[in-house]
Amino acid sequence: MKNLKKILLSLLVASAMGGVSAVAVAESDPGRITYAPTEAIDMVAAKVKVAIDAVSTGSDGEAVAKLIKDAMDASKEINANDKVDMARSRANNKLKSARTHAKENALQEAEQELRNAYKGFQDLKGLL
């Protein structure tokens, strides 16, 4: 009887913790779209590719910087684990460097940084 009470008490505590834990009741904000990690990576890679294409077609630095900013904002949606977040941060730093080059109208350097960032974001899929 003594062991039965311990088992029932531990099951009761475990179910109470599971029922009210933050993870069990977690929801996204109303109206907010949440993406799976692979979808978010593809979305960011597509935005980086658009910025690369804009540099190739001869857009001005401010327009390219705006496209890079859009990609940087979208990269915040990539949420998987700590390894992915560290690699995302490194790729995001390349985007920041590319944006700085684009603002200075050094589009050749910006394009190279964008290509490195694109490769960095594509490599994130291997960490999932």
CATH of domain 30-127: 1.20.120
Assess whether pLDDT exceeds 60 at residue 28.
no
Residue 38: is its pLDDT beyond 80? yes
- Give this prediction's pTM: 0.72
pLDDT, tens digit (0-9, with 9 covering 90-100), for 46-59: 999 999 999 999 88
3-state secondary structure string, the chain?
A: CHHHHHHHHHHHHHHHHHHHCCCCCCCCCCCCCCCCHHHHHHHHHHHHHHHHHHHHCCCCHHHHHHHHHHHHHHHHHCCCCHHHHHHHHHHHHHHHHHHHHHHCCCHHHHHHHHHHHHHHHHHHHHHC
User: 15-19, 37-41, 55-59, 75-79: which has the minimum mean pLDDT?
Assistant: 15-19
Mean pLDDT of 12-22: 70
- Going from N- to C-terminal start, the domains of the chain cover 30-127
Mean pLDDT estimate for the chain: 85
Q: Is pLDDT above 80 for 97? A: yes
Q: How confident is the model at residue 33 (pLDDT cuts 50, 70, 90)?
A: low
Residue 20 has pLDDT above 70, yes or no: no
